[in-house]
Structure 1
């Protein structure tokens, strides 16, 4: 009789343990997380001109600060073009200054000769008019001769005025044309100086922001083609967290929402701000396949971390679901 009772008590105890485990196990079980990884967008830095790599200041995996010189393509040819453009600019400026000083053009010299001839004719006509007036008063010339002398003088004076106006117009017009042409040459030469200077600067690009050198495609002494990347840089502000949220939970994830995540070897308390939520669902990517999630539809979400410098692209991460406290 005691043996059946013992068996019943043992079975009851096992049942109680199973019930307690069913009730209490979820509290101790680790909460689910959304899987993802660290991603980085690369900048491919190149030179606008072909040439030999004369200096390489970085190596693969190195961290660089903003403004760091990365490499140098041989600058001799571009430097000579800058010097030539600068000399052309100085010559254009000198021509513009001479134009403003008012050099006499050849056409004005011809008009001045006409003016001198008109002045001489006007003087002679004036002398003839004075003589005619005296002779008319003395009764030697008839009145008609005085009228003729006066008309000849007025014609000569009109010719002289016209010659003087032509000189003024020619001097003013041609000088203004020369000044405008000289100013245009100065502007063209200045633009060439800016263009060649900009090309010279592209031979030695700088890091636009702090980041990590992802790849070096050419070494010192190698020939790099124009616009062919020499260095690939992942800026810290282009590092982001990419993770995948099940379709039943994606409605809570919107741009601007803060999320928390963790990764192996990373410091605690990592956080990021959601910048993009894919509008289309997809099957769980192969890199995060598991038996529990490989058949689920998920939405890709990207978030910008608070400090991308501490994160290495390619590192797996676990993102805490919104509302989880850790």
Structure 2
């Protein structure tokens, strides 16, 4: 009997304690402030001569951010200019053909070889008559004939050369020279474009956050030298467990509170996507079961001017 009463008191105590236990309060959904990030990198490798901006400064599209020293490009420009000049001279020479002095030289050469040929022809005719009269040996006859043939070949060659010069340069040679000129001009244009790339120019407006290198350091091609945020692109990321995602729909207007300033403003949900298990959780102290799927909602402020001064990566509570 005594044990039964004792058990009853224990059971009543457990029930009383269970009733007094407070329910666990639901955590607020806290997300992060973000902005679209942009980076500017040089297209060439060079040493930084001067940096024209500072961290925290707002720049406009077209502003010069830095200038690099690229001596190799200057050397390529000099080489390309020399090749272009040479190629232009080749084209002009091909179009003009032979000079007056070259024509005179060829004509003089033709006259001399013509006289040699006439002399060789006369000698060969005499040798032929003497050979028919058995006054000349076959060996001597062959020597006269060879001299005659050699003189004739030399005269034919100079006649052909003179005819080629008088007819003008072949069309194919002019085209070939023109192609070499175009190639040289293309190399010069490429070098000039590379020379202009020593200026690092902002392609759009940006709030500079980070300058990676200092004056005198070597900036490699493609290395992000300037990193910052695009103005008026603030948005907010919240992580929502599967059990609570039904409350939010794309296009829904929501209220948010900036934790450090207690400033309230409204926004619109523009995207909802599922996060992979390894993805970064943006909400502080997430409250969900391990088997639940996790979703991220992206909220953009209805008025960017209101949100433009909110610090990046600061906490924002979704109300």
Report the TM-score, using the length of structure 1 for normalisation: 0.55
Question: What is the number of equivalent residue pairs in this alignment?
Answer: 237
Q: Does 1:300 align with 2:301?
A: no
Q: In structure 2, the residue corresponding to 1:208 is in which secondary structure? A: coil
Residue of structure 2 in register with 1:155 after alignment: none
Counterpart contact for 2:207–2:230, Cα < 8 Å? yes
| Counterpart pick for 2:57 among 56, 62, 67 | 62
1:98-117: CA deviation from partner (whole Å, max 9, x where unpaired) = 434x4139xx97xx97xx99
Q: Does 1:103 align with 2:97?
A: yes
Q: Distance in 2 between matches of 1:194 and 1:272?
A: 50
**Deviation of 1:39 (Å):** 2.6
Q: Show the 5 A alignment for 1:197-216.
A: 197-216=192-211
Counterpart contact for 1:284–1:297, Cα < 8 Å? no
Q: Distance in 1 between matches of 2:221 and 2:278?
A: 41
Residue of structure 2 in register with 1:134 after alignment: none
Counterpart contact for 1:40–1:240, Cα < 8 Å? yes
Residue of structure 1 in register with 2:140 after alignment: none
Q: Distance in 1 between matches of 2:89 and 2:257?
A: 67
Q: 1:180 to 1:283 in 2, by over 3 A?
A: closer
1:17-39: CA deviation from partner (whole Å, max 9, x where unpaired) = xxxxxxxxxxxxxx997532123
Q: 1:279 to 1:93 in 2, by over 3 A?
A: farther
Residue of structure 2 in register with 1:289 after alignment: 284
| Counterpart pick for 2:223 among 224, 228, 236 | 228
Greater CA deviation, 257-266 or 54-63? 257-266
Counterpart contact for 2:241–2:288, Cα < 8 Å? no
Report the TM-score, using the length of structure 2 for normalisation: 0.56
Q: Distance in 2 between matches of 1:183 and 1:97?
A: 9
Q: Distance in 1 between matches of 2:98 and 2:247?
A: 82
**Deviation of 1:259 (Å):** 4.7
Q: In structure 1, the residue corresponding to 2:98 is in which secondary structure? A: coil
Residue of structure 2 in register with 1:192 after alignment: 187
Residue of structure 1 in register with 2:315 after alignment: 316
RMSD: 4.5
Q: 1:231 to 1:182 in 2, by over 3 A?
A: same
Residue of structure 2 in register with 1:22 after alignment: none
Moved over 6 A (4+): none
Counterpart contact for 2:47–2:70, Cα < 8 Å? no
Residue of structure 2 in register with 1:92 after alignment: 87
